[in-house]
A and B are shown apart, each in its own frame.
Chain A
Amino acid sequence: MTALNHSHIAAKQPERVVVGPPPVKIQVRGLNFFYGSNQALRNVDFDVITHAVTALIGPSGCGKTTFLRTMNRMNDQIPGARAVGTVLLDGTDIHGPDVDVTALRRRVGMVFQRSNPFPKTIYENVAFGLRIAGIRDHYVIDEAVENSLRLAALWDEVKDNLNGLALQLSGGQQQRLCIARALAVKPDVLLMDEPASALDPISTGKIEELIEDLKSRYTIVIVTHNMQQAARISEYTGFFYMGELIEYGPTVKIFTTPSEKRTEDYVTGRFG
């Protein structure tokens, strides 16, 4: 319902020499989502901007996770779940008949709320996606594992223990390992569902720094319950309430001069 006001955004980004509207990575129009007869998303219009961090906020149960998971069709897994509407990734309808959902998921990576490394070694966790993709060459895999772990700011902590079990890492390290694992397959977009919600402040800080570093290369969509976090790391923010996208725009605007009363109440902590 509230699609992005593009002129405003263009004005908000002086550092990028962009004339006209910013490039849209994912364009969502008229998205409705149903779990059986229960409607979780109502007519959502949304533009995810390329090489930026977009934050999704809103009270519990408002449909943030559902929205995030429609973007790489993870919800296909759920029996009885159904998405109606268009989701275009670089102009390609992701529900289109020619789109292979596995390829889509390689292109749109995901990090979950609960860190979920496989019960394997650190090395094998990061290498999983590569092996799945059919890469056999040791050197290629070694290099990709190192690069991904460096990107995820975990390399220095685990480089001497690559064959240690992933489940023996701390919670924060496990979550960064999951990020490294997602990065190893070189995705184009990275979806993150409350990646720091279960972590201590120091680990959270590390993940935020990491996201800051990643956004030059990736398009990132992140769900968070932490207002400060959203304000700190994101360029754009969308506020969801009861399955509807109430307001969407540059983060600064959402947090300082929201146009909707409900947005203001939520970001100032008056409800939610």
Chain B
Amino acid sequence: MMADPAAVHVTTDQGAVSILSHRRFRFLRHVSPLPILTGFLTLCVVAMLVIVLWNIIAGGIGGLTWEFLTASPTEGMTKGGIFPAIFGTVFLVFLMTVFAIPVGVATAVFLRYYARPESKLARLVRVAVNNLAGVPSIVFGLFGLGFFIQFVGRGIDKAFYGGDLAFGQPAIIWASLTLAVLTLPVVIVTTEEAMRAIPRDYIEASYALGATRWQTIRHVVIPNSMTGILTGGILAVSRGAGEVAPIMFTGAAYYLPYLPAKLNDQFMELGYHVYVLSTQSPDVEKTLPLLYSTVLVLLLLTFALNALAVVIRMRLRLRQAG
């Protein structure tokens, strides 16, 4: 390194420049506006979340009693609880998963184990799933009304009820079907992700033992993607439980003196309850505490489900890693 004097000269020369630029570099790093600005913006996002959450928790925690969770609303919804809305929400999302999970899992299985990856059909399905995920929720509401109620429901009425109104009207089955279509992409994407993580070796071992494709799916693929399917289901439920627009005219009711028991009953629902109480209540001052608690319940429900999905996924990743 020192052998050639010319080289030493060059080194010194460049060294001087590089020290200079190096100093400038460090100097700039300390006052550089970008990390500070972007850091501040990030902090603002965090603050937004904290403010919204804090406001709702502070406003709602006081009213969150056992009675509130288990009683029916009374006195024009200014007193009592929200049990029917909780019940309706649970019933709704349960029905929704009954429709969405089998269809979503079958679609994921098709994409992964039946279709050739670059085939037109597989690509078409993916495009459809992508587009479905981008359709506004109010459009799903219109679809539910136009297709499920006016077309399917009316059709059933004409065929089996002599035209009497039985299924051709808003009902929990139509609302849950509408939500199932809306949450289908979530189930498909999560399940497919889980199936992608199944080692190819397991599938080959199964085929090499003379299992048919269906036996391989039934005994190897499904058991090994169970956590993924579960996660997809939970995320779908969390999404579905928070959606109001698709169920407004497909089955949710403002107030019902009874709980839904049949598939063509209407139902009360937490999100819809929040919407109605906050926009159509005759006396907002009086309902506000109850309203806050209802919002808190809805928020806790969706967050708890999301957190559960995150934990399951994390355990899945850890298991795959270790």
Contacts and interface: CB of A to CB of B under 8 A. Distances in A.
Interface of A: 72, 74, 77, 79, 102-103, 105-106, 109-110, 112, 114, 116-119, 128-129, 131-133, 178, 181-182, 185
12 contacts: A74-B204, A102-B211, A102-B212, A106-B209, A109-B209, A112-B205, A112-B208, A116-B204, A118-B220, A119-B202, A129-B210, A132-B219
B42 to A, nearest CB: 40
A66 to B, nearest CB: 14
Contact of A181 (B116, B201, B209, B224): B209
Interface in B181-239: 199, 201-212, 215, 219-220, 224
A132 B204 contact: no
Given A79-B116, A79-B117, A128 B204 contact: no
A119 B117 CA distance: 26
A50 B204 CA distance: 25
A132 B211 contact: yes
Given A114-B201, A116-B201, A74 B207 contact: yes
B205 A118 contact: yes
Contact of B208 (A114, A131, A133, A182): A182
Contacts of B201: 112, 114, 116
A185 B205 CA distance: 13
B205 A132 contact: no
Contacts of A116: 199, 201-202, 204-205
A185 B219 contact: no
A105 B204 CA distance: 11
Given A79-B117, A118-B220, A105 B210 contact: yes
Contact of A77 (B118, B207, B212): B207
Contacts of B212: 102
Contacts of B205: 112, 116-118, 178, 181
B202 A132 contact: no
A128 B206 contact: yes
Nearest to B201: A116
Contact of A105 (B117, B118, B202, B208): B208
Contacts of A131: 219
A74 B201 CA distance: 12
Contacts of B215: 132
B116 A106 contact: no
Nearest to B116: A79
Given A77-B203, A102-B212, A128-B206, 12 more contacts: A79-B117, A79-B118, A102-B210, A105-B209, A105-B210, A110-B208, A118-B206, A131-B219, A133-B210, A178-B205, A181-B205, A182-B208
Contacts of B220: 118
A119 B209 contact: no
A106 B208 CA distance: 7
A129 B220 CA distance: 12
Given A112-B201, A118-B202, A132-B215, A182 B207 contact: no
Given A77-B204, A112-B205, A119 B210 contact: no
A70 to B, nearest CB: 13
Nearest to A80: B116
Contacts of A77: 203-204, 207
A109 B117 contact: no
A247 to B, nearest CB: 29
Contacts of B210: 102-103, 105-106, 129, 132-133, 185
Interface in B98-133: 116-118
A105 B210 CA distance: 5
